[in-house]
Chains A and B, each alone.
Chain A
Amino acid sequence: MSFNARITMPAEARAGEILEIKVLTRHPMDRGGQSDGRGGTVPRKILNRLTATYAGDQVFRMDMHTGVAANPFVSFTTRAVATGDIVFEWREDGGATYTRTSRLTVT
């Protein structure tokens, strides 16, 4: 199952408005520890961090552990300050990263 993300947020907002950003990710969030059938155990492989960067600053970061569900949903808020991209970056166990961007137009 490959990584995928659906980001739901308004495309435009008035300056100063607080908008809610909802992120639904497709990821098994394998907590590890199961038997692999050859005497070993499956290593943990989860998304361990989600960051959101907007207008030069990191506005949100979530550290995830095995207590976060598979296909995690995350919602947070940010204040609209300037037209620009909001960059979402996930970090997976093992070092892989996934990036998505979403454009926000501020009027």
Chain B
Amino acid sequence: MSSAISPRSRPSEPGLDRRSVLAGATAGLLVAALPARAATEPSPELAQLIARITEGAVPERARITLDIPALVENGNSVDTRILVESAMTEADHVRWIHLIAEKNPFPDMARFHLGPRAGRAEVATTLRLAASQTVTAVAALSGGGFVMTDADIVVTLSACIDGG
């Protein structure tokens, strides 16, 4: 009938077997890895940083893409590209794009000022990240609105680790 290694030969008592322990541990790890906050709700500190640069306005989560690696080996130089969907005309263009790293010693990293002559609202740069954190990009539109997006980054080697 069933051999010693077949699944049917496993003990049938309802105690903790190896497989269920492993499954439970994996599920636990997955839950622990999920960010504590809801995906669309920035932390209070980050919300404050965003409100400071948008002068209180709440940015919309749309039309902006932040291209940044999810796992960074070296936080001293992180390739980042930001693209905002915009016609870039005199009437409708992106005024600026601001990058925030909430856990850097100075969270404001850079601001790109663009105008209708840019043709396309696309910029790229290299950043320094001090820790694993959420990087946020906020763009100001000529109509007075703001759009934002963010990305969770895991940094293996932090920038700013040499005392300082």
Contacts and interface: CB of A to CB of B under 8 A. Distances in A.
Contact of B99 (A34, A35, A58, A67): A67
A75 B128 contact: no
Contact of B111 (A20, A54, A62): A62
A76 B112 contact: yes
Given A69-B77, A72-B125, A73-B124, A63 B113 contact: yes
Interface string B128-164: 1100000000000000000000000000000110111
Contacts, number: 105
Given A63-B110, A67-B99, A68-B125, A81 B164 contact: no
Nearest to B79: A73
B117 A67 contact: no
B117 A62 contact: no
A68 B78 CA distance: 9
A70 B76 contact: yes
B68 interface: no
A74 B135 CA distance: 18
A97 B95 CA distance: 25
B115 interface: yes
A33 interface: yes
B75 to A, nearest CB: 9
Interface stretch (B11-19, B31-39, B55-63, B100-108): B100-108
A62 B110 contact: yes
B119 interface: yes
B123 interface: yes
A104 B98 CA distance: 28
A60 interface: yes
A36 to B, nearest CB: 12
B48 interface: no
Contacts of A107: none
Which of A33, A64, A66, A69 has most B Cβ within 10 Å?
A69
A69 B127 contact: yes
Nearest to A66: B106
Contacts of A65: 106, 108-110
B113 A67 contact: no
A74 B124 CA distance: 6
A69 B76 contact: yes
A18 B122 CA distance: 11
Interface of B: 76-79, 81, 99, 101, 104-115, 117-120, 122-129, 159-160, 162-164
